[in-house]
Structure 1
């Protein structure tokens, strides 16, 4: 049966935020640096053995529960291809300040240089709008990019990126390697590969020593090779940032090998198809199976549940791993 998930907010992150998550979930106030809620997480913060893992209401780690019954949680087809690897991390993210310009490695780079099973593609569903920065406006050679990082020329770094205004219901697709930053005031639901791998190109004004922690322990000479240095045209940018469809699959097809997100607008009754999913209620009041779920509720749907009926009025986001 569906499992209601409490907040899972790692403390003392390097940037400010969290109040919008508190309001969205209707929870007591949290710390000033709790800007992320890791939903249904079997992933840990980079370099930490346990921080970031989700616990079920019975006290078990979700990671342990999935490993003990992978078919029940993930289904036969998923397990046949990937075993107990969830292949997904979902977050609520509240940018209490603009995030730094950064990028994430792809699968090949993560495997060769870090020994990790995945890189980090990600995509966002915007819940509260603002400004995002994504993709280069012009080609940049390796020497120029390295010099901007070494000099911490923040204005020049940010000026390299397209600046886009986003509204609730917009989606943003961020392929591995793509430079990006989230503007202050944006609240979003993020789907990503289940890794915490970020290459920081700036760190002034953030609670982190980028010279030590910004390059995944590889040094910037190596880490910056994971960064895409070719420009995005305006037409390409429209493929990365655009309004979500009114219903159904909302991310571009390029995201499908990494994760999927479905938007279901419920007015009366609707079905959630079988298969493992992380459910997020973004508006209204719903009954999901036997669970009452107001705005801000997050639930796990095991594959063994089969089709689940949703009743009420509101919007439901259904996050899933890639199709096996």
Structure 2
């Protein structure tokens, strides 16, 4: 662990983090390259940017040496300090007393910015009880998708697949996997075209696949445990057997799916989330995109600032991701200049901070919260 106690980075100020790109089994990331002004933006095996991350990527055998991949690092020109270093050294300041008492020195949340150039492999994730029993993990992987953009790929608009259609059975699902009938598996799931602003809660056990052309922010439990149903990705990458069944074997992995079936309308009613206004003031408003009334595992809101607004910390940590505009974030005498694509970690000790619009367009920012501490 790095000694950060003498580096004057404490929990009294918001902390700017660097983008943390992660290798995945699918192609994407061109829009992320463009976002950060790279000279030759292109799709690659790095389609995700991780935020507020104190965990590393779940790696296959040939990437085990990359122990820092996925970890959020502090934006400093001359020092290599991770958010995990800061949390480990000052958990009360960074996470808050209530959070620490309930969850220990874990943030309990992970956020990703995802850009897909191809459909992700059909998959599901364990719930918290299954994760503890089968994988000795504190966390399952319930997740939430909030779409912020996208592009057409081969003439196909952004889309997703989720939930079993009426009539699908475990036996049918398992047979389709054994035959590697990918089109048959996709036909078992509901397909929806998505627009910026759409939000879906994907509970653990629900079969799903993010389609091509999607740009989204995913907030989730901090686990990378994924059961995959395809042995070869849409772009032709052969998937390691461990990455398919995560050590469970090809029989037991089917225990992790929830085989409840719903109509197209019922599926949307179950998992599409309608935004709710939190506060609306002169010059700013805050909208809840996913709240603790839907899941205790995380919360996400969107701030829209025309002029200036003060944000209360309430003794809990959070993240801030700038979707659009130029802003200054001020806490006490300190301030940070931010633009689209920048991200901050707000320690629990920061009692309040201000967001000042420094440009012509409205500042839009996502506030990202860990699990409910109450």
Residue 266 of structure 1 corresponds to 305
Gaps in structure 1 of 5+ consecutive residues: none
1:190 has 2:218 as partner = yes
Aligned length: 323
CA distance in 2, matches of 1:94, 1:136: 25
Residues 1:157 and 2:175 aligned together: no
State the partner residue of 1:244.
Answer: 275
Q: 2:142 aligns with which of 121, 129, 142?
A: 121
1:280-303 Cα offsets, whole Å, 9 max, x none, are 111111111211111111111111
Say if 1:295 and 1:178 are closer, same or farther in 2 by CA, change over 3 A. Answer: same
Contact 1:270 1:311 in 2 (8 A): yes
Which of the residues 86, 90, 93 maps onto 1:69?
90
Q: Within the alignment, does 1:26 sit opposite 2:47 as a pair? A: no
- Kindly indicate whether residue 105 of structure 2 is the aligned counterpart of residue 84 of structure 1: yes
Question: 1:133, 1:166 → 2: CA distance?
Answer: 10
Which of 130, 133, 144 aligns to 1:112? It is 133
Over alpha carbons, which structure has the higher Rg? 2
Distance 2:303 2:243 in 1: 40
String of CA shifts for 1:104-134, please: whole Å, max 9, x gaps. Answer: 1101111111111110010011011411111
Aligned twin of 2:346: 301
- Corresponding residue number in structure 2 for 1:280: 321
Q: 1:201 aligns with which of 208, 217, 229?
A: 229
Structure (1 or 2) with the greater helix fraction = 1
1:98 corresponds to: 119
Distance 2:231 2:341 in 1: 31
- Aligned partners of 1:273 and 1:25: how far apart in 2? 29
SS of equivalent residue, structure 2 residue 252: helix
SS at match of 1:67: helix
1:159-216 Cα offsets, whole Å, 9 max, x none, are 1111111111111110001111111110001101111011001243342425442011
Aligned to 1:36: 48
**Contact 1:134 1:179 (C-alpha < 8 Å) held by counterparts:** yes
1:10 equivalenced with 2:10 (yes/no): no
**Alpha carbons 2:20, 2:51 under 8 Å: kept:** yes
Structure with bigger RCO (C-alpha 8 Å, 6+ apart): 1
Contact 1:169 1:243 in 2 (8 A): no
| Corresponding residue for residue 257 of structure 1 | 296
Unaligned runs of 5+ in 2: 1-12, 151-157, 278-285
CA distance in 2 between partners of 1:308 and 1:212 (Å): 45
Task: Supply the RMSD in Å over aligned alpha carbons.
Answer: 1.8
TM-score between both structures, scaled by the size of structure 1: 0.94
CA distance in 2, matches of 1:114, 1:71: 28
